[in-house]
Structure 1
Amino acid sequence: MGALDWQRKIYLDGFAGQVSKISPNAFQLEQAASRQMTAEAAAYILGGAGSEQTILANQKGFGHWKIVPRMLRNVENPDLSIELLGQKLPSPILLAPIGVLEMAHPEADLAVARAAMATGVPFIFSNQASVSMEACSEAMGNSMRLFQLYWSRSRDLVTSFVKRAEACGCSAIVLTLDTTMLGWRTQDLALGHLPFLHGKGLAQYTSDPVFQQLLDEFLQRPPAARPSITTTTLRNLLGSVRRYPTGSFLHKLRSGRAMGAVSLFSGIYSNPTITWDDLAFLRGQTRLPILLKGILHPDDARKAVDYGMDGVIVSNHGGRQVDGSISTIEALPSVVAAVNGQLPVLLDSGIRGGADVIKALALGAKAVCLGRPYVYGLALEGQRGVETVIRNLLADLELTLGLSGYKTLAELTTDSLRLS
């Protein structure tokens, strides 16, 4: 459905008294979703590091760039398609990897995968998903998907994740570089809540044969330190046991596998020791393209080229890792200049509307990754909500492109913008 048809449908539905819960206004959408979610879910999904300056900078940064519309150009039948990693895509939008989606909706990643297929938008599966990559791939048919990888302390587990991504039809590995440790996320800390300790967001691990083997070995060791026993501890323990995917409740409780999985994950999840030289190991495990997510400095972008990577994603993890970090749109021009057309540059963090997409592409991004807004749609209406968020963004992009005087995305250049 084209932008004008989608716009017309919204107005006709409104005329019939059917106003969608998925507001096209980014601020209203966020507010509605935050009211729908639990306090813990809202803190995890909406929150950022420290005083959350980076979240604000990501969104305000786009405001410094102004579109300069051009007039009297034939902009009928616009074309939003791009080529990325050897594939033609209907638009420059991908869905960013976001973990623990079960906090937003029971169908979690599966609802997002179905919405991605329905709209033709690629989905980057999260390393911290609530549904396994295999189940999501089955729901997506031939639609493009990618897999986000966190480099754990187990190289065998890294290899297993990559091989599984290959087997279920992923088009690339998106190695996230900026989360070798969790940032100081003040909203989560204020509630004392980390979803992984509750057994959430561990589906890629509990479905993995190498992780299960590591768990067998882990359970043979003396027990580690445990939290003090309270009624809350017991309630959370039982919740973690229920979430563990295999076995009866009593078996899971007696075997200790559910809480063992949580403890094992906590010990191997992050690896602050990795360096550029480790990329050779990853390159040796897969023939898939490798994109580096979290690039903000031009020197790191040049290193990505030197180390044979296939793309970079300019990202600061949605402001969740370094408080006061440079915004993504601010970092983009120097990263684009550094790679000098040798590999594609994508942008993640801060995309809220069609104008943001146009500005990113005019500054040299090949595509953008949409993050929190689709989770807001998920929280409000599941798969249908995600689809509506995507269609709203695509319609906004198409209309803004045409009203700015452009028929294709390839026409966008730095001359399309002014820096204020």
Structure 2
Amino acid sequence: MNTRTALPEGVISLPGHEAHARGVLDANAWAYFAGGAADEHTLNANPAAWQKLQLHPRILRPVAGGHTRVSLLGRSLAHPILLAPVAYQRMAHPDGEIGTALAASAQQAGLVLSTQASTPLEAVADAIRNDPDRGPLWFQLYLQHDRGFNLELIHRAEAAGYEALVLTVDAPCNGARDRERQAGFRLPPGISAVNLSRLVPRPDPARHPHQSALFDGLLQQAPTWDDIAWLQASTRLPLILKGVLHPDDAREAARLQVGGLIVSNHGGRTLDTLPPTAEVLPEIVEALGGSLPVLVDGGIRRGTDVLKAMALGGAAVLIGRPYIYGLANAGALGVAHVIRLLRDELEIAMALSGCPTLGDIPADLVRRARN
């Protein structure tokens, strides 16, 4: 495992971090962090969809005194960039989730910690608790088969100071990840989902030979809309649903009065051939009519992508793989560098588009490329 803490020479962009990390991570870790489901059509379509959108700027607009601030869930954020939940970060660098948290805090970025973090949720919260300028700290939740354990995990997150729960709703089972299977992926010794260590094994119901291990086994306890109401009654934290792609699901979430939505296709890691999030985002925003904040992840690699997401009605964006590549390259410093690069590029894109603030984005800033 790489233990470098100095920025690699010549890396000046998020794609540059990715290219460098390819030579740093071993084949096992690269397959896990970089791979997607099946033929990886969605994995590749996500960044391509942002690139196909064109910016249509205005000129000679006054932009002095501009800023990147946004308001989200009652908080003022210095910028609209958050770090998406990614599991097992100590597999990328010994700094792991602590390094990521320190970098996010230093760069005022929001952080969503994974249920499957390789560092206890309390330790991550403690590392940045006393920074008054940090961004929001949220906890991502995969509902487990044991409701009592779910309650314990939620209460731990509340007690540690997490400010929202992010429920992943698009992955009741893993996708068919060919790259991981070809690499024979396995967690290295000493790395595990430590926050799930007290979870009792899932009961394996007796099945007839003709029954499915998936449909008649694992999915017997998969979450449904009924669990959303139970979860809301079980926590004082706002609940954000991550993995929404269909307008009807967005409307149902609004009916249940959740705190927000994240338009996400799980970075192309679950079901392949899903639409890219850049194409889905405006459909979800239109369906909700401003009733809920809508965030988006998937393929964001440039500040222009962030600006496009905001122009399409997004409240904020999340990045996943890019900061993991930064972590692999230089630990906490690498993560901070990724966030800073993206924020700097966002400011440049705003200035060159005639938008001093994100609230000044005109409706026609983004258009589809003409074939």
Q: Which residue of 1 aligns with 2:365?
A: 416
- SS of equivalent to 2:156: helix
Contact 2:302 2:345 in 1 (8 A): yes
Q: CA separation of 1:413/1:300 partners in 2, compared to 1, >3 Å: closer, same or farther?
A: farther
Residue type at the aligned position of 1:187 = R
Return the alpha-carbon distance in structure 2 between the equivalents of residues 89 and 25 of structure 1. 23
Alignment pair present for 1:295 and 2:283: no
Alignment pair present for 1:99 and 2:48: no
Q: CA separation of 1:282/1:372 partners in 2, compared to 1, >3 Å: closer, same or farther?
A: same
Return the alpha-carbon distance in structure 1 between the equivalents of residues 314 and 185 of structure 2. 36
Shift of 1:270: 7.6
Q: Which residue of 1 aligns with 2:294?
A: 345
Return the alpha-carbon distance in structure 1 between the equivalents of residues 57 and 8 of structure 2. 30
**Structure 1, gaps ≥5 residues long:** 1-17, 222-267
- The partner residue of 1:160 within 142, 152, 163 is 152
- SS of equivalent to 2:163: coil
Return the alpha-carbon distance in structure 1 between the equivalents of residues 109 and 10 of structure 2. 18
Alignment pair present for 1:200 and 2:191: yes
Q: Which residue of 1 aligns with 2:265?
A: 316
Q: CA separation of 1:103/1:270 partners in 2, compared to 1, >3 Å: closer, same or farther?
A: farther
Larger Rg: 1
- The partner residue of 1:184 within 176, 191, 194 is 176
Alignment pair present for 1:123 and 2:111: yes
Shift of 1:33: 0.3
Return the alpha-carbon distance in structure 2 between the equivalents of residues 363 and 101 of structure 1. 31
- The partner residue of 2:326 within 363, 366, 377 is 377
Alpha-carbon RMSD: 2.1
User: Residues 317-336 of structure 1: matches in 2 within 5 Å?
Assistant: 317-336=266-285
Shift of 1:156: 1.1
Q: Which residue of 1 aligns with 2:141?
A: 149
Residue type at the aligned position of 1:159 = L
Alignment pair present for 1:78 and 2:66: yes
- The partner residue of 2:254 within 287, 290, 305 is 305
Higher relative contact order (CA 8 A, sep 6+): 2
Return the alpha-carbon distance in structure 1 between the equivalents of residues 243 and 326 of structure 2. 25
Q: CA separation of 1:280/1:91 partners in 2, compared to 1, >3 Å: closer, same or farther?
A: same
Contact 2:7 2:334 in 1 (8 A): no
**What is the TM-score normalised by the length of structure 2?**
0.89
**Structure 2, gaps ≥5 residues long:** 1-5, 205-216
User: Residues 1-400 of structure 1: matches in 2 within 5 Å?
Assistant: 20-21=8-9, 23-141=11-129, 142=131, 143=134, 144-195=136-187, 200-206=191-197, 211=199, 214=200, 273-400=222-349
Shift of 1:272: 5.6
**What is the TM-score normalised by the length of structure 1?**
0.79
- SS of equivalent to 1:384: helix
Return the alpha-carbon distance in structure 2 between the equivalents of residues 371 and 287 of structure 1. 27
Residues 20-63 of structure 1, C-alpha deviation per residue, up to 9 Å, x if partnerless?
44723333321210110110000000000011110111011112
Contact 2:8 2:330 in 1 (8 A): no
Shift of 1:77: 2.6
Contact 1:94 1:122 in 2 (8 A): yes
Shift of 1:65: 1.3
Residues 186-233 of structure 1, C-alpha deviation per residue, up to 9 Å, x if partnerless?
11010221438x663312122x5xx3xx37x99xx9xxxxxxxxxxxx
Return the alpha-carbon distance in structure 2 between the equivalents of residues 353 and 364 of structure 1. 18
Q: CA separation of 1:68/1:275 partners in 2, compared to 1, >3 Å: closer, same or farther?
A: same
Residue type at the aligned position of 2:163 = S
- SS of equivalent to 2:23: helix
- SS of equivalent to 2:364: helix
Residues 166-203 of structure 1, C-alpha deviation per residue, up to 9 Å, x if partnerless?
1111110000011110100111010221438x663312
* Alignment size in residue pairs: 348
- Larger helix share, 1 or 2: 1
Return the alpha-carbon distance in structure 2 between the equivalents of residues 191 and 272 of structure 1. 30
Return the alpha-carbon distance in structure 2 between the equivalents of residues 287 and 271 of structure 1. 28
Residues 294-340 of structure 1, C-alpha deviation per residue, up to 9 Å, x if partnerless?
00110110011011211000000111011111100110011001111
Q: CA separation of 1:115/1:26 partners in 2, compared to 1, >3 Å: closer, same or farther?
A: closer
Return the alpha-carbon distance in structure 1 between the equivalents of residues 222 and 59 of structure 2. 54
Percent identity at matched positions? 41
